[in-house]
């Protein structure tokens, strides 16, 4: 074949041309794959191998090799073949022993395994142990706290609370109420720079402190609506004031069922509300703290001799706020 003589143009299907055009225009694929896609597209246009080699700064044999690979294997031929490489120096048995020892045993004279201790105990390098820990998401240096309730009626109470969420009474609304105290009211000395593509929100390091505030919120699980109110103090009086706000916001024809963690003992006792002769009726579990923040759990102050499960499956609204 004479120097620079064009070869017959490659025949491409519409799908292959679309795939190759996407490869050639990609900014995230490996450069070698992008160049090979460009090579095939130019070949389909009838460009000679010599000119393609000049454009890509490749040799003619290299251009011919990848062109032939595409003819034989189509798109799959543009990918690199697997190379044998060096054989593994760590066997599956050694990895299994490392994992078993890390999960089942404690190191002598230490509270948890470190990369260096595990490497020394298993006869492996620190880098190998580090890669195995990363691969299997092992973090011996970390721990998470948990607490199991000792309440004998824990399951029944959870069913009552979850039953309100999943199967609320007719003509009623179920709200999850909680509060967040000690929120710092800060005013930055300069305007906040908004977040954008490639950079985060920017705030100045200096600010003016305006004390703290307490946020009360009620979440309607069914609709995702949130009713909020900020109070200057964190007492049961503010909590009862927020209950009044909920009572005004909910239509009068609907019952209100609140699932709360009790803020103050007086808030769970029968307390008259504005415009009502009768106090707030007692909640489903008068002495229950519901799990809402870290450190709180579902418990009862006084365990009765027998707790009657109140599975709320078929209920009709009583048209009375509680």
| SS3 track for 204-272 | CCCEEEEEEEEEEEEEECCCCCEEEEEECCCCHHHHHHHHHHHHHHCCCCCEEEEEECCCCHHHHCCCE
What tens digit of pLDDT does each residue of 199-209 get? 899 999 999 98
The reported pLDDT for the residue numbered 6 is: 55
What tens digit of pLDDT does each residue of 29-51 get? 888 888 888 988 898 888 888 88
The mean pLDDT value of the chain amounts to 78
Residue 112 has pLDDT above 50, yes or no: yes
Q: Across residues 176-185, what is the average pLDDT? A: 88
More confident residue, 296 or 58: 58
Residue 280 has pLDDT above 70, yes or no: no
What tens digit of pLDDT does each residue of 212-265 get? 999 999 999 888 899 999 998 888 888 888 888 888 888 888 878 778 775 555
Domain layout of the chain by residue ranges: 14-78, 92-135, 154-194+202-300
The reported pLDDT for the residue numbered 82 is: 63
Residue 94 has pLDDT above 90, yes or no: yes
The reported pLDDT for the residue numbered 8 is: 62
The reported pLDDT for the residue numbered 5 is: 53
The reported pLDDT for the residue numbered 32 is: 86
Here the tokens at position 23 are 């490869």
The reported pLDDT for the residue numbered 303 is: 37
What contacts 187, CB < 8 A, 6 or more positions away? 207, 208, 210
The partner residues of 227 in beta bridges, in order of sequence, read 218
Contact between 308 and 243 (Cβ < 8 Å): no
More confident residue, 230 or 170: 230
Confidence of residue 133 (pLDDT cuts 50, 70, 90): very high
Residue 190 has pLDDT above 70, yes or no: yes
What tens digit of pLDDT does each residue of 6-33 get? 566 678 888 888 888 888 888 888 888 8
- Which 3 state secondary structure label does DSSP give 182? strand
Fold of 14-78: Arc Repressor Mutant, subunit A (1.10.10)
Residue 74 has pLDDT above 70, yes or no: yes
Prediction pTM value? 0.47
């Amino acid at each position: 074949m004479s120097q620079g003589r064009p070869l017959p143009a490659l025949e491409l299907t519409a799908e292959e041309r679309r795939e190759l055009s996407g490869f050639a225009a990609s900014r995230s694929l490996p450069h070698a794959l992008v160049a090979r896609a460009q090579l095939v597209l130019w070949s389909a246009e009838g460009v000679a191998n010599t000119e393609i080699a000049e454009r890509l700064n490749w040799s003619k044999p290299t251009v011919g090799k990848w062109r032939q690979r595409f003819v034989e294997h189509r798109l799959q031929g543009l990918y690199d073949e697997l190379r044998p490489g060096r054989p593994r120096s760590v066997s599956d048995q050694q990895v299994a022993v490392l994992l078993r020892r890390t999960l089942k045993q404690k190191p002598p004279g230490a509270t948890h395994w470190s990369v260096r201790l595990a490497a020394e105990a298993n006869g492996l390098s620190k880098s190998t142990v580090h890669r195995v820990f990363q691969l299997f998401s092992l973090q011996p240096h970390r721990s998470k706290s948990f607490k199991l309730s000792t309440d004998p009626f824990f399951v029944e109470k959870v069913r009552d609370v979850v039953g309100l969420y999943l199967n609320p009474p007719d003509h009623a609304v179920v709200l999850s109420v909680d509060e967040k105290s000690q929120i710092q009211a800060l005013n930055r000395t300069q305007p906040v720079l908004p977040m954008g593509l490639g950079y985060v929100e920017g705030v100045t390091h200096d600010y003016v402190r305006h004390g703290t505030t307490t946020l009360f919120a009620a979440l309607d699980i069914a609709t995702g609506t949130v009713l909020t109110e900020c109070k200057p103090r964190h007492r049961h009086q503010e909590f009862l004031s927020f209950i009044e706000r909920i009572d005004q916001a909910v239509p009068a024809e609907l019952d209100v069922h609140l699932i709360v963690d009790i803020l103050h003992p007086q808030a769970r006792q029968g307390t008259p509300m504005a415009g009502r002769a009768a106090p707030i009726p007692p909640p489903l579990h008068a002495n229950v703290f519901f799990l809402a923040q870290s450190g709180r759990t579902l418990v009862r102050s006084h365990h009765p001799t027998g707790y009657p499960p109140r599975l709320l499956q078929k209920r009709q609204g009583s048209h009375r706020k509680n």
